[in-house]
Structure 1
Amino acid sequence: MTAPVVVVGSLNVDRTYRVRRLPAAGHTIHARSRSTAAGGKGANQAVAAALLGADVALVGAVGDDQGGDDLVESVAAAGVDVTGIVRVDAPTGEAVVLVDADAENLIVVSGGANLCLDAAAVTSAVRAARFVVAGFEVPDDAVLAAAARARELGARFVLNPSPMRRLPAGLLGPGALLVVNEHELAMLAGGDATVGERARAASGRLGGCDVLVTLGARGALLHEASTGHPAEIVAPRVDAVDTTGCGDAFMGALVAGLAADLDPAAAATRAVEAGAFAATRPGAQSSYPTSEELTRWRRDRQ
């Protein structure tokens, strides 16, 4: 497959339960409603980028089951190239999502087929790209293969290491872009400093990559290794309905902006807006804006 943006990541069936409050240990709670939808961080990011006009391909794995059929069909319907999605002898991944009355969420993921995505599948699928995006809901071998293919193709590697685990040695370096939230940044660079100082420290420890930190309702902070100076991006204020998948909306909008030749700060600004927009709608992929919707939303807020 060839596309300006290639996402190497997960596909999950999301089963969402809306509750009054998130449960504490040992508690049983009742759901107010339930729904099933397409999800997985890789699929979410690919769909978010495609809806914003990017030419996107997704590399991932699903099972030979109804869930896999539904996910591939849903992602393709959003305009994503799905020829890099392989079928494996494992159940399609699933996620159970609890969303409370304050729009906060709790998510439990069963990796299933995602954990079968291997380096060979990634290497054979990624033939040309300008940006190769990877996340941590697939095995290290697949992520390392994505980074290696990016280097071979002269593409920019963008890593969103969520859920966080130890970063394999040599994964990042000059020209790569690391996208993390505050908690993930603290795991990489400690917590006894400002966000900007920790971003600079993480960049230094990880081979001089650029670091973009998502700050939820506060926006984001971009540290570009070439300048050494952090740039703060302020998020628009919104009344959140559901924050599920907002980080993936951010990622998709970010790479769509970069693929459209926006500079990193401008792409990050657009990403913050897309994440805020997504928080005003329920669900993950169902909450993501098209380019027209995001432009109209931005204009209406002025």
Structure 2
Amino acid sequence: MNQPSVGVVGSINVDLLLKVRDLPGPGHTVLGEGGTLSPGGKGSNQALAAARQGVEVAMVGAVGDDAHAEAALVYLQEAGVDLRHVHRVAGPTGLAVVAVDDNGENNIIVVPGANSAVTPSIVDSALTELKGCPVVVLQGEIPEETTELTAKSLAGPGTRIVLNLAPVIGLSPETILLSDPLIVNEHEAGQVLVHLRSVVPAPHSDPVEHGRALCRGLLGAGLASVIVTLGSKGAAVGQHDGVEIVAARRVSVVDTTGAGDALVGAVAAGLANGMTLLDACALGVSVAGASVESAGAQESYPWAFA
């Protein structure tokens, strides 16, 4: 097996996908349809998105000993992702319940299951392989101490940490500042700024300008680089030489589930292939745009663009 270019340490779930006319509010009951199970989890999604862009990927995580474990890994296996460091643990595989409305918007409830067992010892057993990866991707769906250990053990010459701080968990500021880039949406960017004890820019009527301001704030807080995703507007990319906008093409939205993960995985693949951050983000925006044009998360991820 070839040395992976991208290592992903993160969550592996199955997604229970429900289709509803409108997302329910507090105390509301709505009728839905669907109820299908498909692979998911932010770590798994990002690993697959990277692999489908033509790079060798190693996944570090855990699934349960239930019937959902095999279903959670099926697309990763098909894409040739290295699963030698995916552990089987007692208990259920992680589960995400995803409701999608007629506009393609969603809400998601995640039950961590086996993801809670992704302990520092699991990462320790994979460190030799991960140290050979030019890019290592982390998120917020496994225990904080595991993410802390991974970033601190691997960040440095030869390994670039891509941190998608979603959800925003209580990582130390020192760990967050190891990321290059940090990838967050607008809401998460504000939370990170609060966590770093930096000023959160006032809301702006133009989401693109607000994205620029968030990037500048995060750079000012000490980040080496940052991507703030802006949904249908694309993404803002902040580096030492300023902030640039990567615009998204107009698409027909069917389901936005997993679009952010598609972007993160494609950015990681682009960086591993030697792209600049701006070009890697452009690839990520294109892949995310393609992913929202069909239902589901992993099944919607495109293979490498010609």
Length-normalised TM-score, structure 1 = 0.92
Q: What residue is the counterpart of 1:299 in the other structure?
A: none
Query: Paired residue for 2:230, among 189, 210, 215?
Result: 215
Aligned alpha-carbon RMSD (Å): 1.6
Query: Paired residue for 1:232, among 245, 261, 276?
Result: 245
8 A Cα contact 2:183 2:229, kept in partner: yes
Q: What residue is the counterpart of 2:213 in the other structure?
A: 197
Q: Deviations over 1:59-106 (max 9, x none)?
A: 001111221122234321122111111112231100000000000001
Matching residue's letter, 1:10: S
In the TM superposition, structure 1's runs of 4+ consecutive aligned residues that sit over 4 Å from their partners are none
Identity of aligned residues (%): 39
Would you say how many aligned residue pairs link Structure 1 and Structure 2?
A: 290
Matching residue's letter, 1:250: L
> Aligned partners of 2:187 and 2:156: how far apart in 1?
32
Q: Displacement, 1:150?
A: 1.8
8 A Cα contact 1:123 1:149, kept in partner: no
Q: Secondary structure at the match of 1:171?
A: helix
Q: Secondary structure at the match of 2:174?
A: coil
Q: What residue is the counterpart of 1:290 in the other structure?
A: 303
> Aligned partners of 1:172 and 1:17: how far apart in 2?
34
Q: Displacement, 1:153?
A: 6.6
Matching residue's letter, 2:202: D
> Aligned partners of 2:293 and 2:211: how far apart in 1?
26
Q: Displacement, 1:212?
A: 0.5
Length-normalised TM-score, structure 2 = 0.90
5+ residue gaps, structure 1: 296-302
> Aligned partners of 1:179 and 1:33: how far apart in 2?
31
5+ residue gaps, structure 2: 194-199, 204-209
> Aligned partners of 1:172 and 1:165: how far apart in 2?
10
Q: What residue is the counterpart of 2:36 in the other structure?
A: 35
Query: Paired residue for 2:280, among 267, 271, 280?
Result: 267
Q: Deviations over 1:247-266 (max 9, x none)?
A: 01111111111111111101
> Aligned partners of 1:289 and 1:174: how far apart in 2?
30
Q: What residue is the counterpart of 1:249 in the other structure?
A: 262
Q: Deviations over 1:176-204 (max 9, x none)?
A: 21000011112223241632232222233
Alignment of 1:183 with 2:187, yes or no, is yes
Q: What residue is the counterpart of 2:82 in the other structure?
A: 81
Quickly say closer, same or farther: Cα 1:232–1:113, change in 2 above 3 A: same
Is the deviation greater in 95-104 or in 195-204? 195-204
> Aligned partners of 2:173 and 2:121: how far apart in 1?
20
Alignment of 1:137 with 2:141, yes or no, is yes
